[in-house]
Structure 1
Amino acid sequence: METNLEYNKYDEIFTSILEKEKSILGFLSSIFNFLARRTDFYYVHDGFHTDMGFPPGVAEELVIKVLRKCDPKNWSLDKDEINNEIMCSTVAQEVEVIAQEDEQEMENVPEISKENAESNSAVKSDIKDNRSSFPEDYEPPLIVTQKNSESYNGAIRENYTWSQTIMDIDVTIKLPPDIKSSKDLKVTLNPGDICVACHNGDIILKDKLPFKIKTIDSFWSLSENRLLIHLEKVQERWWNKLLNKEEEIDLSKIDCSRPLNELPEDSIAKVRELQWNQEQKLKGLPTSDEIRNIEILKKAWNAEGSPFRGTEFNPNILKK
């Protein structure tokens, strides 16, 4: 592998970042934050719309491969050989998008079926008794998403644009050039309607809203000859239009995802478990369901009436 020459041209840029961040962690955070904000690196496609992002797990696999590629111990390897390994791994991951369904937990513990035995035989037999199926202190990697477009989940209209999350709406309105300060405007935000007018009475924007807003939590400000209005929704729902007279947007085409910290606690726990299971699969380690199954098997191993009672626990014999 060519070690330095081909990447020397970036040294000045990276050195500058490293000096400002003052740590390797800060440096790497800057790199991945850039990928999150300016590329589709973190976008996980569903196997149908493959023009953006990667299948599940491929982005992480690429990072691991590049990490190994840049290890000084591997500099003696052929560059094409390493790049080939990265590309082949990516293709393999794409094939695995059609994933196998997770096998169900055993319903009857004393009765060890062949199907469950085959499932559990794949689990490493050296799992410790005190190992929990899912670590409570697990924190998934922080993924920063870019959602600051003025028309994100909204629309661009002739004199204004609007964007939304499930909880609020941001409106950007173009103002006449003679509007210099807030004194030149009169903005009225009511629960069911909105009105923006010049101080002389000329209407810039006025209409009823399709749903109610919280006026006490809504506000507006001026920025570079633009009026910025923030509206808090009364109900958590997606709006198909900002104003009643406006053409509706197709809600089936917007990004309906929500930040993890906005979900109920039980949903957050489930999402984190799914993320942890995905990481376990990529590492070739058992998932939480597989760990739970093996723990159930251990309890049943020495249970009354078990043919394995008194023998050393060994799930591998179940596949015979």
Structure 2
Amino acid sequence: MADQDPSPTDIAQRDIEEKERKAREIAEQSQLPYKWTQTIRDVDVSAPIPANIKGRDMEVVLTKNKLKVAIKGQAPIIEGDFPHSILVDESSWTLETTPTPPGKEVNIHLDKVNKVEWWPHVVTGAPKIDVTKIQPENSSLSDLDGETRAMVEKMMYDQRQKESGGMTSDEQRKADLLKKFQADHPEMDFSNAKMG
């Protein structure tokens, strides 16, 4: 049975469900005592704190898999396990004065170990966001590390080759190997050889 295109009613229902999901997500995130944003490489968290608090009054624990941010002697502002590991040496926290409203803010920068994965939340006990709906920021190849850049360039080359009817890099490599093997073994008959 062939797939049918969704009807206008189905599309409208999906739009309504998507808007409700997004509104629920926004409401859940706004209830958190902190705000957070992320890129594919890192996560930034900020939480307002009273103006009279100094750095020595804070208890901030950053490990590879856990985070705790609290004013000493008070319940944590945020505490729990990360959904994915961080690079502790590349992560940090600061206490900054905010002009409006006058006060302070603790800012936490978390450098992700896995630079190709979106986080559904900062800590696993917090409400999740739908990571499939994230629109990644535009980036250039020069932003990528060598290994990732090479992989992306290969994928782009292969896509261009497919679109133009040419061979992908893997197909080209196999053809080159076969050509070399044929040159090294002229005594063998390759007339019925097929590339797979």
* Partner Cα distance (2:69, 2:155) in 1: 44
* Partner Cα distance (2:123, 2:56) in 1: 25
1:238 aligns with 2:125: no
Alpha carbons 1:156, 1:162 under 8 Å: kept? no
Unaligned runs of 5+ in 1: 1-154, 275-288, 290-320
- Matched residue type, 1:229: I
Unaligned runs of 5+ in 2: 1-28, 98-103, 165-196
Corresponding position of 2:89: 216
1:247 aligns with 2:127: yes
Alpha carbons 2:64, 2:87 under 8 Å: kept? yes
In the TM superposition, what is the alpha-carbon distance from 1:267 to its structure 2 partner?
Answer: 3.4
Work out which of the residue numbers 165, 171, 176 in structure 1 matches 2:50: 176
In the TM superposition, what is the alpha-carbon distance from 1:203 to its structure 2 partner?
Answer: 2.4
Alpha carbons 1:162, 1:171 under 8 Å: kept? yes
Deviations 1:207-228 (A, max 9, x none): 1211111111100001120001
Identity of aligned residues (%): 28
* Partner Cα distance (1:212, 1:220) in 2: 17
Of Structure 1 and Structure 2, which has the larger fraction of its residues in strand?
2
Work out which of the residue numbers 32, 39, 44 in structure 2 matches 1:158: 32
1:267 aligns with 2:152: yes
Corresponding position of 1:229: 108
- Matched residue type, 2:129: I
- Matched residue type, 2:152: S
Secondary structure at the aligned position of 2:152 is classed as: helix
Aligned length, in residue pairs: 119
TM-score, structure 2 length as denominator? 0.53
* Partner Cα distance (2:133, 2:73) in 1: 40
Corresponding position of 1:191: 64
- Matched residue type, 1:185: M
Deviations 1:117-172 (A, max 9, x none): xxxxxxxxxxxxxxxxxxxxxxxxxxxxxxxxxxxxxx544311111111110001
In the TM superposition, what is the alpha-carbon distance from 1:266 to its structure 2 partner?
Answer: 6.3
* Partner Cα distance (2:139, 2:124) in 1: 28
* Partner Cα distance (1:193, 1:159) in 2: 17
* Partner Cα distance (1:232, 1:178) in 2: 29
Alpha carbons 2:40, 2:118 under 8 Å: kept? yes
Structure number, greater radius of gyration = 1
| Runs of 4 or more above 4 Å deviation | 268-271
Work out which of the residue numbers 241, 247, 256 in structure 1 matches 2:136: 256
Secondary structure at the aligned position of 1:187 is classed as: strand
TM-score, structure 1 length as denominator? 0.34
Alpha carbons 2:66, 2:81 under 8 Å: kept? yes
* Partner Cα distance (2:87, 2:151) in 1: 27
Secondary structure at the aligned position of 2:87 is classed as: strand
